Amino acid sequence: MIVDTLTVVYRDEIELLHKQAEKFNFYMPMNSVNNIFVIVNDDDLTTDDINHDWWAWHRDKVRVIHRSEFGYYPPPTIKGWYTQQICKILGTCHALSEWCLIYDAKTLPNCTYDKRLLFDGNRARCANWAENMSPHWQSGVQFLKDKFGITDFKWISPAGVPFLAHVPTMRAMVYEEPDFVEWFHTYCDFPNRFNPHTRGITEFLCYSAYVSSIPGLFEELYTNEQQIKVFNLADWEIDKF
């Protein structure tokens, strides 16, 4: 299975993106990726600031897109963590392969890409992690369960990056809403005393909910088992790297 990859970057993460590109050169065989999408999520950063040569022999596959090319101009009240999520969703909708492997700029692969670790035939090797979900996400989950009438919510692993999204399904999710971006902006922040009506949804919660809302779709797209390990480290945990 040949995929597209997608990374969202803003100015402070340029050096991390450079490191990720070097990792791609080392771990991504030429025949494993169709397009490498880089979505620029910063008004002070241009597509010309991204050097295609960082990806060496993959350079011709790099597609750099500024968020404004999607018609996305986030209001100043929406924090970067949320605009990054919108960029992942919109970027995936513009992917050209059936599957898109979504990264953050600070996500670094540390093993050779092997499609057998990520796919079994046409299905992605991702599991349902709903039983392990933190209470931190419950307001968003409950909101999405109510919205879609879901009784069996499947939280698609690894619940963060690197995330395998089925491109046609992501598009269908966006088209379901008359104005997906405005809807996401309304409910992405966590409930607080200034805005008690928001719900703390995320890009991958929304995608998982949409998949869960269609009978049999999770089983059609995912194997319900995961072969890779993902490690999330905060900056203060760098000694564990």
Task: Name the DSSP letter for residue 121.
Answer: T
- Give the pLDDT confidence score for residue 157 in this predicted structure: 97
CA-to-CA distance for 2 and 98, rounded, in angstroms? 9
Name the amino acid, one letter, at 112. Answer: T
| pTM exceeds 0.75, yes or no | yes
Q: Does residue 241 carry a pLDDT above 70?
A: no
The distance in angstroms from the start CA to the end CA of the chain is 30
- Give the pLDDT confidence score for residue 49 in this predicted structure: 96
pLDDT digits (tens, 9 = 90+) for 154-166: 999 999 999 999 9
Average pLDDT over residues 112-137: 93
- Give the pLDDT confidence score for residue 201 in this predicted structure: 97
Task: Of 206, 212, 47, 235, give the one whose Cα is nearest residue 128.
Answer: 212
Q: Does residue 127 carry a pLDDT above 90?
A: yes
- Give the pLDDT confidence score for residue 12 in this predicted structure: 93
Q: Does residue 117 carry a pLDDT above 90?
A: yes
- The SS3 assignment for 100 reads strand
Report which secondary-structure segment, H or E, holds 120: strand 119-120
**Positive or negative: CA dihedral 116, 118, 122, 126:** positive
